[in-house]
């Protein structure tokens, strides 16, 4: 019996609703689809909306409630759709607005909700607003952040108004010949920042939201929230203040790198959160005026924990329904201990405001796949963890069947972050490996596309390991995932049960208990050694016999097997969901 490291009891602020009373998004399962790589319906090698439409049954079948699509709007693709040139038009290679409407209707008919990626910080420089702004067209003149620059007293030359650096390196200011001014871009040169201090910009963006709400879209995932506002111009100097050097420039010595500065004037301003509250008001108002299902906001913000909590609301006003929990995503890696896992769960649960739902994110299109980041042996364990925590689970497409990073050669690399590196180092930077096509079956291109050439290669062998094969197998990562999402939907303990955890050696053990008395124990052996547990000494009122409801593929325990609580053997890297038998 290992040393008891700690017990932590949580009184969860959950509204004790029965399953049927819960709103669709509460406690929900959200699925991120990367449309370029999901399913190609017309054989051009690029995934598209009709492809997503063809596969919606699958999304429903694996237990999802909400689907969010990575950007699909018209874009010159300088940043794979994060550079939008028209917010109300679908990018032609993904389909048409009609295809999106058909997809929305199909989703609704299956009981799914569709969420679009909204990229409000900047447009593409090819957006009509920017071109009119460059032309000094009066309504659009101040849609972006323009400045004459300042004259350097030593050289007598014009230079940018401040030392601000873009996320993609070098000055965040770019000179425009036609307008004879600098414009601000916190990301790429082709991504000019909108000026949110201009009420017309706010109104135009509100109209974009209303445009899609009117077409049945169920909510928005809002990109890059901490970049929305910059400090106002200093009336004394007529320019913007320089940002101080980062407190630890030794970890970021290159003055052209974003991390070289401390972004006090361009990142995580209080105004960023204000506008989220305002967008929440807009969607809430829409929901009540049109008597629709709840429209939701999901927010992407790599910012302080305090800001993330604030994103939920300030006690008077509501904010994001789902402020993505990047603390856990950034905090856990394959060296993390069971105590680390425990820490991130408690930190969120015990600090979130009353009346909101926790959310858990472990992967997305910017991070190596779970099976590659945590080791393939832990693929099921990570899904068991995600699906049995209280609140909302967010799954990146492919994680449900334990997909690993795909191999993409230097020649095939397309991610700008990879291309900016060289053939020896590109794999450290490129995000293509987690974006390779979905493995549907064992036909050409794993059933993703019939094209001779797909936009990214199929990254791994798929003859025996694909969705169809996993569905046909007696047991598989995918079958385990489906059992987990089933439990979340049907068992009160997982719907709104309490959460109590214990860490023993490198094993995280927690109980989910419903008021009705139903109880489940989740055992996650994070470590690389088998551990024998006496569960009876860890929790009160435990029955002597437990039923294994679902466990990792390599646990060698069939579902339904009864085990002794007093001598439970947790295999290295394995996860288990056990039911109390009374």
Ligand X SMILES: *[C@@H]1O[C@H](CO)[C@@H](O)[C@H](O)[C@H]1NC(C)=O
DSSP-derived 3-state class of residue 173: strand
Residue 448: DSSP 8-state: S
User: Would you count residue 223 as binding ligand X (CB under 6 A)?
Assistant: yes
Pairing of strands 519-525, 531-533: unpaired
Options 223, 400, 432, 434, the catalytic residue: 223
User: Which H helix or E strand runs over 290?
Assistant: helix 270-290
Smallest CA-to-CA distance from 508 within 395, 275, 344, 368 is with 344
Reading the block at residue 550, the tokens are 């679902």
Give the strand pairing for 296-299 and 219-222: parallel
Question: How many CA atoms lie less than 13 Å away from 156 in the CB half-sphere?
Answer: 0
Q: Which of 218, 300, 342, 432 is catalytic?
A: 300
CB 178 to Ca ion: min, Å: 22
Q: Is 146 helix (H, G, I), strand (E, B) or coil?
A: strand
By rule CB under 5 A, what string of x and - marks binding of each residue 219-238 to Ca ion? --------x-----------
Chain residues 168-207 in contact with ligand X, contact rule CB under 6 A: 179-180, 187
Q: With binding defined as CB under 6 A, does residue 243 bind ligand X?
A: no
Task: Find the binder of Ca ion among 8, 10, 13, 44 (CB under 5 A).
Answer: 44
DSSP-derived 3-state class of residue 523: strand
DSSP β-ladder status, 322-323 and 545-551: unpaired
Q: Return d(Cα 260, Cα 528) in angstroms, integer.
A: 38
332 phi and psi angles, rounded to 5 deg? -95, 140
Which span (45-53, 257-265, 307-315, 360-368) binds Ca ion, by CB under 5 A? 45-53
- What is the C-alpha to C-alpha distance for residues 44 and 499, in angstroms, rounded to an integer? 48
Count CA atoms closer than 13 A to 436's CA, side-chain side: 23
Binding partner of residue 128 among Ca ion, ligand X, none, CB cut-off 5 to 8 Å per kind? ligand X
Binding segment toward ligand X, per CB under 6 A, in 54-62, 153-161, 230-238, 445-453 = 153-161
Least separation in angstroms between residue 294's CB and ligand X is 9
- Number of residues near ligand X (by CB under 6 A): 26
Largest CA distance in the chain: 84
Site for Ca ion contains 293 (CB under 5 A): no
Instruction: Kindly state the smallest distance separating residue 465's Cβ from ligand X, in Å.
Output: 19
Q: Phi/psi at 258 (nearest 5 deg)?
A: -55, -40
Q: Is 137 a known active-site residue?
A: no
215 binds ligand X (CB under 6 A): no
* Selection from 229, 509, 542 nearest residue 388 by Cα: 509
Choose the stretch contacting ligand X; rule: CB under 6 A; options: 1-9, 102-110, 148-156, 560-568. Answer: 148-156
Nearer to Ca ion, 40 or 380 (CB): 40
User: Given the complex with Ca ion, which of 93 and 399 has the nearer CB atom?
Assistant: 93
Q: How far apart are CA 518 and CA 493, in angstroms?
A: 6
Answer yes or no whether residue 79 interacts with ligand X by CB under 6 A.
yes
Nearer to ligand X, 426 or 520 (CB): 426
CB of 334 to ligand X, least distance (A): 4
If one asks whether residue 247 binds ligand X (CB under 6 A), the answer comes out as no
- 503 touches 495 (CB < 8 A): no
Would you give the end-to-end CA distance of the chain in angstroms? 25
Is 262 near ligand X (CB under 6 A)? Answer: no
Q: Which of 154, 236, 247, 250 binds ligand X (CB under 6 A)?
A: 154
What does the radius of gyration of the chain's CA atoms come to, in whole angstroms? 25
Check if the beta carbon of residue 539 is closer than 8 Å to that of residue 500.
yes
Rule CB under 6 A: say whether 86 interacts with ligand X: yes
- Catalytic residue list contains 422: no
Considering the rule CB under 6 A, would residue 354 count as an interface residue with ligand X? no
By annotation, the residues acting in catalysis are: 223, 300
Query: Under the rule (CB under 5 A), what is the footprint of Ca ion?
Result: 40, 42, 44, 46, 48, 121, 193, 227
Query: Under the rule (CB under 6 A), what is the footprint of ligand X?
Result: 79, 82, 86, 88-89, 119, 128, 136, 152, 154-155, 159, 179-180, 187, 223-224, 284, 300, 317-318, 334, 355, 364, 366, 375
């Amino acid at each position: 019996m290992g040393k008891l490291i700690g017990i932590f009891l949580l009184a969860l602020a959950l509204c004790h609703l029965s399953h049927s009373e819960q709103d669709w998004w509460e406690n929900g399962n959200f699925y991120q689809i990367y449309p370029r790589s999901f399913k190609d319906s017309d054989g051009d090698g690029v995934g598209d909306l009709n492809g997503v439409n063809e596969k919606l049954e699958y999304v429903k079948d694996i237990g999802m409630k909400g689907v969010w699509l990575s950007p699909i709007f018209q874009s010159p693709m300088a940043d794979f759709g994060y550079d939008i040139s028209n917010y109300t038009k679908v990018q032609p290679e993904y389909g048409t607005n009609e295809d999106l409407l058909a997809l929305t209707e199909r989703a609704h008919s299956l009981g799914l909700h569709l969420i679009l990626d909204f990229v409000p910080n900047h447009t593409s420089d090819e957006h009509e607003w920017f071109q009119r702004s460059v032309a000094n067209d009066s309504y659009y003149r101040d849609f972006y952040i323009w400045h004459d620059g300042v004259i350097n007293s030593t050289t007598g030359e014009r230079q940018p108004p401040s030392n601000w650096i873009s996320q993609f390196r070098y000055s965040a200011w770019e000179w425009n010949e036609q307008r004879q001014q600098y414009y601000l871009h916190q990301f790429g040169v082709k991504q000019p920042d909108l000026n949110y201090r201009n009420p017309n910009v706010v109104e135009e963006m509100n109209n974009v939201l209303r445009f899609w709400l009117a077409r049945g879209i169920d909510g928005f995932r809002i990109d890059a929230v901490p970049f929305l506002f910059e400090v106002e111009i200093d009336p004394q100097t007529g320019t913007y203040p320089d940002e101080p050097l980062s407190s630890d420039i030794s970890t970021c010595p290159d003055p052209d790198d974003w991390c070289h500065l401390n972004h006090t004037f361009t990142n995580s301003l209080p105004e960023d959160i204000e506008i989220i509250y305002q967008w929440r008001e807009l969607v809430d108002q829409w929901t009540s005026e049109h008597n629709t299902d709840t429209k939701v906001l999901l927010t992407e913000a790599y910012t302080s924990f305090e800001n993330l909590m604030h994103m939920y609301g300030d006690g008077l006003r509501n904010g994001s329904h789902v402020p993505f929990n990047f603390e856990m995503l950034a905090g856990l890696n394959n060296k993390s201990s069971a105590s680390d896992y425990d820490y991130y769960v408690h930190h969120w649960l015990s600090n979130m405001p009353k009346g909101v739902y926790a959310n858990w994110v472990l992967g997305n299109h910017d991070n190596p796949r779970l099976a590659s980041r945590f080791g393939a042996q832990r693929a099921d364990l990570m899904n068991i963890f995600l699906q049995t925590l209280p609140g909302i689970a967010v799954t990146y497409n492919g994680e449900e069947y334990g997909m690993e990073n795909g191999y993409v050669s230097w020649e095939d690399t397309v991610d700008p972050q990879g291309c900016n590196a060289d053939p020896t180092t590109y794999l450290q930077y490129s995000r293509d490996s987690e974006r390779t096509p979905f493995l549907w079956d064992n036909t050409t291109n794993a059933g993703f596309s019939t094209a001779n050439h797909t936009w990214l290669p199929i990254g791994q062998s798929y003859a025996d390991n694909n969705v169809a094969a996993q569905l046909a197998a007696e047991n598989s990562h995918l079958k385990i995932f489906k059992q987990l999402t089933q439990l979340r939907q049907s068992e009160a303990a997982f719907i709104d049960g309490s959460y109590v955890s214990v860490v023993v050696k490198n094993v995280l053990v927690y109980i989910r208990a419903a008021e009705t008395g139903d109880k489940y124990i989740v055992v996650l052996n994070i470590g690389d050694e088998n551990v024998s547990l006496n569960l009876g000494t860890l929790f009160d009122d435990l029955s002597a016999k437990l039923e294994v409801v679902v466990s990792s593929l390599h646990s060698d325990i069939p579902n339904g097997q009864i085990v002794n609580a007093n001598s439970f053997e947790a295999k290295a890297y394995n996860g288990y969901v056990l039911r109390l038998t009374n």
